[in-house]
Amino acid sequence: MAEIQSNEGGGKHKKGGSKQKKISVFVDFTPMVDMNMLLITFFMLCTSLSKPQTMEISMPSNDKNITKQDQSEVKASQAITLVLAGGDSVFYYTGQPDYKNFNSLKLSSYDANGIRAFLLKRNADAVAKIEDLKQKKLDRKITQEEFTKQASEIKKAKGTPTVIIKANDRATYKNLIDALDEMQICDVGTYVIDKWSSSETFLLKNFRTRGSLSNNIAK
């Protein structure tokens, strides 16, 4: 509530002077407190809070009918190993490591035309199916629960790639996060962070020396 107080000047004034009228304004902001509390309560009730985001982890199968030969074939045909050695570059190889051929280790990057393009190509079938699911969800043909269930089944389907991520001491947390982001972008359903081994050290050194170590093996 606003109040206006008028104070007329008293006493004698000089000849020819005018009478001055002083006005002081007082604004009461007490009602604004109640209004602010109502607005805060309104936004708290009507605004959706941010939901925690989780990453789906595919666990190994419990099927006892899978033979060791089937397991090795799946690993060789579907495995992609990402080698994080620091910097803005990322190395990768497919299947089992080839120690005699230094070109089996490929150099790539975290750009859209780098490792992402390779993973999207290897996982093209699953990516296309999930894009169709996204469109069905936008058209409200399926619910969010149905989308999540069907997308999970597509990612775990036979023939989808299995990515193994290995990082050495020079790799940063940013490198690892970038690699995990690519798993989500490329709809890779099965991936694991594994320990760095002497195999990756050999492959990396052999690549940088243009096959000098593999030449020693051949001799």
212/97 Cα distance (integer angstroms):
16
108/118 Cα distance (integer angstroms):
9
H or E stretch at 73: helix 68-78
Owner of token pair 């690519």: 182
Inside any domain, residue 176: yes
Q: What is the pLDDT of residue 115?
A: 95
Inside any domain, residue 94: yes
Inside any domain, residue 187: yes
Tokens of 124: 């093209």
Radius of gyration of the chain (CA): 33
Q: How many domains does the chain have?
A: 1
Q: What is the pLDDT of residue 58?
A: 46
Inside any domain, residue 41: no
Q: What is the pLDDT along the chain (219 residues), one digit of tens a residue?
A: 545 555 555 555 555 555 666 667 667 777 777 788 888 887 777 766 555 555 554 445 555 665 655 554 556 778 999 999 988 889 999 998 889 999 999 999 998 899 999 999 999 999 999 999 999 999 999 999 999 999 999 998 888 999 999 999 999 999 999 999 999 999 999 899 989 989 899 999 999 998 888 776 655
Domain limits for position 191 = 79-123+161-218
174/109 Cα distance (integer angstroms):
13
DSSP reduced 3-state for 196: coil
99/202 Cα distance (integer angstroms):
8
Inside any domain, residue 107: yes
Inside any domain, residue 14: no
**Taking Cα atoms as reference points, which of 105, 68, 110 lies closest to residue 199?**
105
Q: What is the pLDDT of residue 163?
A: 93
From residue 4, alpha-carbon distances to 21, 24, 31, 33 in Å are 12, 6, 18, 22
Which residues are CB-neighbours of 190 under 8 A, at least 6 positions away? 58, 155, 156, 160, 161, 162, 163
Inside any domain, residue 153: no
Tell me the HSE value of 15 on the side-chain side, using a 13 A CA sphere: 0
Tokens of 193: 């962070």
Output the 3-class SS for 156-175: CCCCCCEEEEEECCCCCHHH
End-to-end Cα distance, the chain: 96
What's this model's pTM, rounded to 2 decimal places?
Answer: 0.65
Inside any domain, residue 139: no
